Amino acid sequence: MSNEIRIASWWEMTLLVVAYAIPLFFYYYSYLTGEGHWFSRSGSLMVILGAFLEYRNFGIQQYLREKRDETWKPDPIIVNQLRSRKPFDILLLTSLVLGTAIWGYGDLLFNNT
């Protein structure tokens, strides 16, 4: 199962990069066109991807905790995998907060006159 978790982590990291790249692309597009609503709407996509990834992350962490607690002596590989997911978890929560802020206030960065 460890290899499956590594593969899942690779896909999760790719989706997280996409979640951060979408607002960057639409910020540039909105800067060129002067229409801030595209940047604002990209925040909703960031939140959707972040929520999906957080759901998957929670499931994987739950699985790892159950595996860790099966025996009286936890497997060091599982403990390290749990620790290594902490920065990913922080990036996910940051993407949710940032995506919500972009979604709500992103259009105010551009002059729509």
pLDDT tens-digit map of 89-106 = 999 999 999 999 999 999
Residue-number span of the structural domain to which 33 is assigned = 2-103
Backbone angles phi, psi at 94, to 5 degrees: -65, -40
The percent of residues in the chain predicted with pLDDT above 90, rounded, is: 49
* Selection from 42, 44, 16 nearest residue 31 by Cα: 42
Q: Is 84 contained in some domain?
A: yes
Q: Is 93 contained in some domain?
A: yes
Q: Is 108 contained in some domain?
A: no
Q: Is 76 contained in some domain?
A: yes
pTM of the model: 0.82
Q: Is 112 contained in some domain?
A: no
Give the separation between CA 99 and CA 11, rounded to whole angstroms.
Answer: 20
Q: Is 111 contained in some domain?
A: no
Q: Is 44 contained in some domain?
A: yes
Give the separation between CA 4 and CA 63, rounded to whole angstroms.
Answer: 12
Q: Is 63 contained in some domain?
A: yes
Total structural domains in the chain?
Answer: 1
* Selection from 30, 9, 16, 14 nearest residue 94 by Cα: 16
